[in-house]
Structure 1
Amino acid sequence: MAQCSVSTRFGDLTLTEEDGAITALRWGRAAQQDDTPLLARAALQLAEYDAGVRIKFDLPLRVAGSALQRDVCAAILAIPFGHTRTYGDIARDLGVPAQAVGQACGGNPIPIVIPCHRVMGAKGLTGFSGAGGIETKVALLRHEGAAGLLI
């Protein structure tokens, strides 16, 4: 397992690579900084996203967990930059309860890259599992120009 950290307006972020895929993104700095081609590419893409010049990530990802976890993450990946969907929308598409989608969204191991901040509740803004909670979710949505969707 290799890790590297990137400083962004959303906080310090640590990327984890395992067996040629990004497997995690966490808030905070890693104690050890590794230099692999994939981590360098991922760090560059995060910096580009932070600078407002990247709207989609192009990285090999591996989501651990159940088939539902992987399916929800795949559905979240399909939400375009600057747009949102609801837990209910994704639940209908997958044929599962909205609560299960919410749990899977909260368990997203690679936030920002898998943009769970783009998932809203039926009545609007909901929580966020990343550092800073709802404030970070709002900052990410504003960064993507989705601020009008927050009301």
Structure 2
Amino acid sequence: MPADPVGASSLVMPSPIGRLELLARDGALVGIRFDAASDGTPGTRREGTDVLREARIQLGEYFEGRRRVFDLPLRPVGTAFQQRVWTALADVPWGTTTTYGALARLLGLPAGASRAVGAANGANPLPVVLPCHRVVGSDGTLTGYAGGLERKALLLRLEGVATAADQDALF
């Protein structure tokens, strides 16, 4: 997340990809942070709001393989361009991948806009829920993930997507 949402409520939860800090404000999920400290983040209130409790439940179901689509009120903060990219991310189905170039084309952007799409993808304040881990390089390799490529690979494997590293392990 680019900035601390002042006045946000937060909740920390364990997950297979590490401790996640969920942030909510005004009844909507506004952020998910990796490697959450157990003592919280300055500027946030530690309280379990309804949206935070529901987000924790739905993320838990996702990590257990029982949820493929999230149904949460979301309010990610970003530019109009970032919002367009994040909306497109929400439509990438569970268990599939797409490329930065394919997202650019889907958004009607000119050739070469894949870098801008990648930058917006990297600024996604709601990883996992807005599945930026499902975006791969044009050759299918895992590239750029704010949480690290190990987490990206783990999330894809959880969804049944074989990564290049998985293929290499076969031979």
- Shorter-chain TM-score bucket reads over 0.9
Unaligned runs of 5+ in 2: 1-7, 41-45
Correspondence for 1:141 among 143, 148, 156? 156
Q: Deviation of residue 29 (structure 1)? A: 3.4
2: CA distance, partners of 1:17 / 1:116: 20
Compared CA separation, residues 30 and 108, structure 1 to 2 (3 A)? farther
Alignment RMSD (CA, Å): 1.4
Q: What does residue 53 of structure 1 align with? A: 66
- Output the CA distance in 1 between the equivalents of 2:47 and 2:91: 30
Separation in 2, partners of 1:29, 1:22: 19
**1:16·1:24 contact (CA, 8 Å) conserved in 2?**
yes
For residue 144 of structure 2, what is the amino acid of its counterpart? G
Structure 1: 4+ residue segments shifted above 3 A: 148-151
Q: What residue identity is the alignment partner of 1:110? A: L
Residue of structure 2 in register with 1:79 after alignment: 92
The CA deviation string for residues 51-92 of structure 1, in whole angstroms up to 9 with x for no partner, is 111111100111211111000000000001000110000101
TM-score by length of 2: 0.83
Comparing both structures, which one devotes a greater share of its residues to helix?
A: 1
Percent identical: 44
Q: After TM superposition, give the deviation of residue 30 of structure 1 in Å.
A: 5.3
TM-score by length of 1: 0.93
Match of 1:127 in 2: 144
Greater radius of gyration (CA): 2
**Unmatched runs of 5 consecutive residues or more in structure 1:** none
